Amino acid sequence: MQKIKQIGCVILILCVLLQTKVVYADDIEEEEWQESEIQQIVVETAGETVDEPVINSRAAVIYDRETKQVLWGKKETEKRAMASTTKIMTAIVVLENANLSDVVTISKKAANTGGSCLHINTGDKITVLHLLYGLLLRSGNDTAVALAEHVGGNVEGFATLMNEKAKELNLENTHFVTPHGLDDENHYTTAYELALLTDYALENETFKNIVASKTATISINGVARELYNTNELLGNLNGVDGVKTGFTGNAGRCLVTSTTRNGKQIIVVVLGADTKKQRTQDSIKLIEYAFENFETIDLKTKIEKEFEKWKQMNQKRIYIYKAKNNQAELVLGSIEKETLSIVKGEENKIEIQFHCVYQYEAPVRENTKIGNIIVKYKEEIIEYIDIYLKNTIERKDIWSYIQEFLAVFP
């Protein structure tokens, strides 16, 4: 009998050990916070003066949506597991390939998916829109599979659509295997590319509205259910308006946050924090650092003003041999980067260099490139802009030479 008890204890211990290895995405039942706890962390962390942030997360990035710049990064191009931040791509693929009013019947596979769930059952009926709320607010792995089956036929087919979209967005270091983000060595992204994906996703109004929702009421089989967003910063930190949480054993604690203040919107990604509190603190530090230390300038206007000054001084220096009319008119090509995020007070570190060829032989056609502008910030090249000849300069013909001769000898 004693031996049987010992064997039973061993089996029980092995079961516990095996279970501890199974860590699901966004296991939100494990660590629920009170709003007061979150607000206390926000107050304590946001009140810190941050010159250069020091964070626990393994990888992170601050991305400016308007200027498309990385303002700060830590191993932002390193491939890492992304947990349920995967669902940003899941939502976009669904939004671009499904009708929001479609009614989905939940399969047994979807209903039995582990980890954080909406707790839908086999045979339940729910619209695509309400499944998206369950996906992005509750971080339901069951909703992820249900949507994948509805749009892609099955999880594998949907993963193909996810990877096609990643390729379309030039996410070269991103690969998807599942719609929910449970650990798989072939399922990965980088902090930087996750920011790019989020930037794209926020252009979709439905996605933008869902992730900005603190709560939502959905209907399953005609019965209302209230959902609460897992994003702890939403509603607790000034300007936060999305986006998505994530957690698995391999990925650690992850959070993608969108924040808008005074018209400036940034995306902060933290991957691989050890605890939920640390991912929250890291995100707050990076958000406050960005808004405290960076400003956006009107680069286009600055370039155009400098070009006008340069043109006034140099346009007449352009000499075209054998030309009927030697008056060249210059115009500036398109300016791609109209705004630029810079460290506050460092506008003097923007350098605008002009390069031009001053001698030509007629004829010279309009829109001929005659030079360019190189724009630098802190010695890094920001943009090349071409300078063109606006008008055609015709070559002298025989009558032009006769007229010149007659003008000399009237």
CA atoms lying within 13 Å on the CB side of residue 240: 27
Confidence at residue 13, expressed as pLDDT on a 0 to 100 scale: 45
Q: The CATH number of the domain where 346 resides is what? A: 2.60.410
Q: Does residue 7 fall inside a structural domain?
A: no
Computed from CA positions of residues 30, 35, 36, 39, in that sequence, does the dihedral angle turn out positive or negative?
A: positive
Active site residue 258: no
Residue 145: domain span: 23-292
Q: Does residue 60 fall inside a structural domain?
A: yes
Active site residue 214: no
The band of 52, judged by pLDDT with boundaries at 50, 70 and 90, is confident
Contact yes or no for 210/133 (Cβ under 8 A): yes
The band of 254, judged by pLDDT with boundaries at 50, 70 and 90, is very high
Of the residues 57, 107, 116, 139, which is catalytic? 139
What pTM did the predictor assign? 0.86
Question: Does residue 41 sit in the same domain as residue 189?
Answer: yes
Question: Does residue 264 sit in the same domain as residue 371?
Answer: no
Of the residues 57, 84, 107, 341, which is catalytic? 84
Give the domain-ending residue among 292, 320, 352. Answer: 292
Helices 128-136 and 141-152 pack at an angle, to 10 degrees, of 140
The band of 15, judged by pLDDT with boundaries at 50, 70 and 90, is very low
Residue 91, pLDDT > 70, answer yes
Question: Does residue 232 sit in the same domain as residue 336?
Answer: no
**Alpha helix segments (H runs only) across 79-220:** 87-95, 108-111, 128-136, 141-152, 155-168, 191-201, 205-211
Q: Does residue 64 fall inside a structural domain?
A: yes
Give the domain-ending residue among 292, 313, 347. Answer: 292
Q: The CATH number of the domain where 207 resides is what? A: 3.40.710.10
> What is the domain count for the chain?
2
Work out the average pLDDT over 34-48.
78
> Mean pLDDT, the chain, as a whole number?
89
Work out the average pLDDT over 316-344.
87
Of the residues 87, 165, 244, 276, which is catalytic? 87
Question: Does residue 280 sit in the same domain as residue 302?
Answer: no
How far is it, in rounded angstroms, from Cα 64 to Cα 199?
9
Q: Does residue 69 fall inside a structural domain?
A: yes
Question: Does residue 66 sit in the same domain as residue 170?
Answer: yes
Contact yes or no for 368/393 (Cβ under 8 A): no
Work out the average pLDDT over 169-194.
97
Q: Does residue 218 fall inside a structural domain?
A: yes
Q: Does residue 16 fall inside a structural domain?
A: no
Q: Does residue 1 fall inside a structural domain?
A: no
Question: Does residue 32 sit in the same domain as residue 98?
Answer: yes
Active site residue 75: no
Residue 104, pLDDT > 70, answer yes
